Amino acid sequence: MEKTIVKIEKLSHRYSTNWAIRDINIEIGHTGIVGLLGSNGAGKSTTMNILCGALNQTEGNVYINGIDMKLQPELAKKEIGFLPQNPPLYMDLTVDEYLWYCAGLRHIPKDLKKAAINEVKERCGIAHFSSRLLRNLSGGYRQRVGIAQAIVHRPRLVVLDEPTNGLDPNQIIEVRALIKEIAMDRAVIFSSHILSEIQILCKEIRMIENGRIVFSDTMDAFNNYAAPHSMLIHFSNPPSATELQQVEGVTKAEFLTERQVRVFFSGDQDIAERIVTISVEKGWRLKEINLDKSALDEIFKQLSNQTAKQ
């Protein structure tokens, strides 16, 4: 089994009398992107703040590359790079001045600072803006500078909170590509409310709702969490919706185009075979039939409702 860079054990935190998170257990490997998903107030920010050493937990333990965050916080934080939702940028500094300042905060030796800064500028595609004031950069390039400060000290773990928030489509694509490249040689935790971003970037998901982990598995497992209850069918000589609804097990049929129809069915495992057989008998000339995977939004809703009832 791959060695873990992050190990969170029975993590709980209480604000006054209210528990923000309860019994959180997470393990993350050394490379790749893990999505941290959850609605507002679910406990994501509390978990990230404790993980990054900005908040002391009420109960439980956090280990970063085997280092106990509570016992050796400075040593553990050397392994972490963090980009909060609002990048901590000083707008009156140039890109070079800002990264030099960040390198100092990360205790990079003076004789190694220039090489470290040049490396992250090249990697993040901001070298040509070295002398430009941060206030004069676009939103996309400010995010790149934010990511650069998070990796200037070569951390083993990078935590990104809503890194594509507020960017235009082209900027989102560019930042996605940068995050994927960074994750090739380190672990990245990607927190977002945008389900499609999680789906595109992440291979694994940890979902928090009402302060508890409600899902911890691969993206494929998340996509298939809810059993498909519909299928997409393409006919060359399509029947009417009424005819399809007369097929045993079909509960509803709605045409998306002239020849493509979404068929809803009860939990009948033989429904596809039945439709194929009837299609041949009646000359509907079925060309394609596929199970309609549950939408991410629907799965998110199901998991959220599940915890709300507990």
> pLDDT (tens digit, 0 to 9) for every residue of the chain, 310 residues total?
457 999 999 999 999 889 999 999 999 999 999 999 888 888 998 999 999 999 999 999 999 999 999 999 999 999 999 998 888 899 999 999 999 999 999 999 999 999 999 999 999 999 999 999 999 999 899 999 999 999 999 999 999 998 888 888 888 898 899 999 999 999 999 998 777 788 889 989 999 988 999 899 988 888 766 556 778 899 999 999 999 999 988 888 989 899 999 888 876 667 888 899 999 999 999 999 887 765 556 666 767 665 555 5
Output the pLDDT for position 106.
95
> Which residues of the chain does CATH 3.40.50.300 include?
1-79+155-224
Can you read off the two tokens belonging to residue 99?
């990264």
Q: Which residues of 222-240 are buried (b: 16+ CB within 10 A; e: fewer)?
A: beebeeeebbebbbeebbe
What is the per-residue pLDDT for 228? Answer: 62
Instruction: Tell whether domain 1-79+155-224 is in CATH 2.60.40.10.
Output: no
Structure tokens at 3: 């060695």
Q: What is the pLDDT of residue 171?
A: 87
Dihedral Cα 28, 31, 37, 42, nearest 10 deg: 40
230-293 to CATH, choices 3.30.70, 1.10.10, 2.30.30, 3.30.160: 3.30.70
Closest C-alpha among 199, 207, 217, 216 to residue 295: 199
Residues of the chain with CATH 3.30.70: 230-293
> Per DSSP, which regions of 156-203 are E strands?
157-161, 187-191
Backbone φ and ψ for 40, nearest 5 degrees, come out as -60, 135
154: its two tokens: 């070569």
Cα separations (Å) of 126 from 117, 118, 122, 152, 180? 11, 10, 6, 13, 17
If one counts every other C-beta atom within 10 angstroms of the C-beta of residue 152, the result is 24
Question: Which residues contact residue 254 at a Cβ distance below 8 angstroms, ignoring those fewer than 6 apart?
Answer: 241, 261, 262, 264
